[in-house]
Structure 1
Amino acid sequence: MTANRTAAIPDTVSAEDAELIARFLDQLWLEKDVSKHTLSAYGTDLRHFARFTQSRDISLLQVDAPLVNAYLAHRYDRQLAARSNARLLSSLRRFYRYYHQQGQLALNPLSEVLNPKAGHSLPKSLSETDVEALLQAPDITEAIQFRDKAMLELLYGCGLRVTELVNLRMTQLQLDPGVVRVLGKGRKERLVPMGEEAVHWIARYLREARPDLLGQDRDVVFPSSRQQQMTRQTFWHRIKHYAKVAGIDATLSPHTLRHAFATHLLNHGADLRIVQVLLGHSDLSTTQIYTHVAQARLQRLHQLHHPRA
């Protein structure tokens, strides 16, 4: 099977396989009332697979488990996403279950094929240089931009979620010990150290800019321009604005600075479990999306210090 992995894949599907796919999709539409999008996706997956089997001179009803695994290996060589492979297998499972139930297959070839783990996508982050540029972007001579500067410093300095940031109340800040009491998902509370820079800018903001922004809700830490609690969407637009000002071309998400917080901590030697606590993850498995960072750091240390590296 491996020797055939470089065989040319035809551009079209044989009439026999095209008829099998069309009959399956028609039956799926009649029985399951699935959406047009799902039918289109299944059809695309099955036609790609049929072209692959044709390159081995095998029709769809002659497929066995090793051939399915060979196709998955082919897709892996092309660096197709694990989630895409999972959807493909879902299409194949339904297709072959249908023809097995119709009595046209003695054995379902997908019964011996395991689902690959979809895994977690790598969170987007920023380099330390880009973060510094972003933090310097607001013009602190204006009260609104001074507020944004303090928010960015706190967001990066504590790894907060944007929702946690905009919901902050004055009673949650403790500048003297330098901690913020955060109410995370499920109203779970955690204490997060701010760091000297965040404490410095929050203290200055509270003293120099916040009084000009206050409205009736005097307990909100970061009021909006309308003197009320800001929405997470509003602050997300502010982040994108400052990224543009700073000349940052990277694609950002609302959690970009949170991911940068975790990544940069690990780069500087923090333990993964400490990062878990700071981020407010109830399960270490959630934090393990950052293990690539820790592993890369360990590899660099090994190459730097081991006598046989």
Structure 2
Amino acid sequence: MNLAENRIDTFLEAQAAELGAARNTLMAYGRDLRAYAGWLITRGGRGLLTATQADVEAYLVACDAEGLAQATRARRLSSIRQFYRFAVDEGWRSDNPAIRLQGPGRSRALPRTLTEGQVERLLDAAPQVGRVEVEQVRNGALLALLYATGMRVSELVGLPLAAAQGNPEMLLVRGKGGKERLVPLSPPARAALAAWLVVRARDKRRAASPWLFPSSGRAGHLTRHRFYGLIKQIATHAGIDPDAVTPHRLRHAFATHLLANGADLRVIQTLLGHADLATTEIYTHVLDARLRALVEAHHPLGTTRRKTDPEG
């Protein structure tokens, strides 16, 4: 397997584990990225990780010249953009050459998020899910830490025990590409973490592990796939459609709720570990969309109110 195939497969595995991407979606991503990688080879031997913005633009022009439908070209750009976003997160490259490119007649999709009420229900439900106390307390800590910090799920499950010792007010997170950042812990998150450390220390099998969230699997700690399954169980217990809840959507909720409550975009960029502010700016569009929906639903002249008003 060559390097490009390896990177594409890693990307697809992460999409399945972290975002719960459907099989058809993964197949489409794979087809699009392999077609793009094959085209790059014809462009002077370029590779996925060395391509420039000009290369991506030239590829879109080539797709248009090939007579591909607008929807197909838009989907290919979306696949390429998602891959490069993941590549930046993983530290494979320092920039996303497709992030500023506009699709053919289609606007950039906004990330789906969760309301503050839905998150509260998830946080309340998490400590109630599990066969025994140690699992219940662990699940409560996992959800509390994820929402309090906006960590990627891979960063959360891979936390070393040393990062949480001493009742810390901040966690040192080692992100993609080995980049480190400090993320503050809210009082509820600190309480959930402290409770987990107490229960964890009483469990002889877990107490000896160097990982904060140990597992008997090969990795030694909880995996992305296992956490994905857990969050679906927690959503069901909370009375929320499990299809609407993924670990990455909680990360989006963290950023969107911070922004809605007045946080600076640069601060959110730092907390999320984004290398490029343009990646973080998508949350301003999410907030704009939510505000428009509120106005349309509740303002006397809103379109939703006019359509439903029996006297309108």
TM range (shorter): 0.5 to 0.7
Number of aligned residue pairs: give it. 202
Report deviation, 1:255: 0.4
Counterpart AA for 2:224: R
Partner residue, 1:130:
118
Residues 263-278 of structure 1: pairs in structure 2 closer than 5 A = 263-278=256-271
Report deviation, 1:267: 1.1
Partner residue, 2:139:
148
Partners of 1:255 and 1:132 in 2: CA distance = 16
Partner residue, 1:255:
248
Partner residue, 2:238:
246
SS in 1 for 2:173: strand
How has the CA–CA distance of structure 1 residues 226 and 139 changed in structure 2, closer, same or farther, with 3 Å as cutoff? farther
Counterpart AA for 1:252: V
Query: Higher RCO, 1 or 2 (CA under 8 Å, sep at least 6)?
Result: 2
- Identical amino acids, percent of aligned pairs: 47
Q: 1:203 aligns with which of 188, 194, 197?
A: 194
How has the CA–CA distance of structure 1 residues 199 and 242 changed in structure 2, closer, same or farther, with 3 Å as cutoff? same
Partner residue, 2:157:
166
Report deviation, 1:226: 6.2
Partner residue, 2:56:
none
How has the CA–CA distance of structure 1 residues 130 and 175 changed in structure 2, closer, same or farther, with 3 Å as cutoff? farther
Partners of 1:276 and 1:255 in 2: CA distance = 16
The TM-score normalised by the length of structure 1 is 0.57
Report deviation, 1:129: 0.9
Report deviation, 1:120: 3.6
How has the CA–CA distance of structure 1 residues 84 and 184 changed in structure 2, closer, same or farther, with 3 Å as cutoff? same
User: Any gaps of 5 or more consecutive residues in structure 1?
Assistant: 1-36, 39-67, 69-74, 76-81, 90-113, 303-309
Query: Which of 1 and 2 has greater Rg?
Result: 1
Residues 10-159 of structure 1: pairs in structure 2 closer than 5 A = 84=72, 86=74, 116=104, 120-137=108-125, 138-139=127-128, 142-159=133-150
SS in 2 for 1:230: coil
Regions of 4+ moved over 6 Å:
297-300
How has the CA–CA distance of structure 1 residues 88 and 214 changed in structure 2, closer, same or farther, with 3 Å as cutoff? closer
The TM-score normalised by the length of structure 2 is 0.56
Partners of 1:239 and 1:88 in 2: CA distance = 30
Counterpart AA for 1:192: V
Partners of 1:207 and 1:136 in 2: CA distance = 20
Paired residues of 2:231 and 2:246 also in contact (CA < 8 A): no
